[in-house]
Amino acid sequence: MEAQDPDYLCALAVSLNDANPDRRTVVDRPLKNGESKRAAVLDALARLLAHKSRDQVVAIGAGLDAGHIQLYVTENTAVSPLTVPHLHNICTRLIDIRATIQASPDPAAILDTISSPVHLKADTAKPAFASLRDLQRSLVSHSIERIQARFTKLHRPDKVDHALACIKGPPANTRDDLSEGERRSLEELQASAIVQQSVRLLGDAVQLIRESIDQGSNYDVDKVRQACIALAIVVSSIPAHTMVSFDQFMFAYVTRIHEPPRKSPNMAKWLKKVSFVIAEYRSLLKILTTPALSALFGDHVAIHSVVNRPPRRTFVTKLEIGNITTTFDGLGFNACNFENIQDLVVEVARLANHSTSLIYGFFEVLY
Same domain, 75 and 111: yes
pLDDT of 76 reads: 82
Per-residue pLDDT band for 8 (boundaries 50, 70, 90) equals: very low
With residue 58 as reference, give the H or E element that holds it. Answer: strand 58-65
Is position 326 within any domain? yes
Asked if 246 and 151 sit in the same domain, the reply is yes
- Window from 142-151, 283-292, 311-320, 333-342 with minimum mean pLDDT: 311-320
pLDDT over threshold 70, residue 366: no
Do 266 and 152 lie in a common domain? Answer: yes
On the question of pLDDT at 7 being above 60, the answer is no
In a domain, 97, yes or no: yes
Residue 110 has pLDDT above 70, yes or no: yes
| 119 against 203, higher pLDDT | 203
Mean pLDDT of all residues belonging to the chain: 80
Question: Average pLDDT, stretch 315-334?
Answer: 56
Same domain, 191 and 151: yes
Domain assignment present for residue 300? The answer is yes
* Per-residue pLDDT, 231: 95
pLDDT above 60: residue 265: yes
Residues 267 and 295 in one domain: no
Q: Please report whether residue 138 resides in a domain.
A: no
DSSP 119: G
* pLDDT for 216: 93
Same domain (yes/no): 166, 202? yes
Are 256 and 179 a contacting pair, CB within 8 Å? Answer: yes
- Distance set, CA 306 to CA 15, 75, 92, 138, 192 (Å): 7, 8, 20, 24, 50
Question: For residues 366 and 130, which has the higher predicted lDDT (pLDDT)?
Answer: 130
The domain total for the chain is: 3
Q: Is the pLDDT of residue 14 over 50?
A: no
Q: Are residues 109 and 206 in the same domain?
A: no
Q: 298 and 344 share a domain?
A: no
Residue 316 in domain: no
Give me the domain span that covers residue 333: 321-361
Verify that 340 and 261 share a domain, yes or no: no
DSSP states of 130-189 as a string?
Answer: HHHHHHHHHHHHHHHHHHHHHHHGGGHHHHHHHHHHHHHSS-GGG-SSS-HHHHHHHHHH
Average the pLDDT over 123-133 and give the result: 85
Are 153 and 267 part of one and the same domain? Answer: yes
How much is the pLDDT for 27?
42
Same domain for 271 and 236: yes
- Whether 13 shows a pLDDT value over 80: the answer reads no
Q: Are residues 105 and 86 in the same domain?
A: yes
> For residue 137, is it within any domain?
no
| pLDDT at residue 69 is higher than 70 | yes
* pTM tops 0.85: no
* Residue finishing a domain among 224, 258, 277: 277
Give the confidence band of 272 by pLDDT, cuts at 50, 70, 90: very high
Residue 312 lies in a domain: no
Residue 311 falls inside a structural domain: no
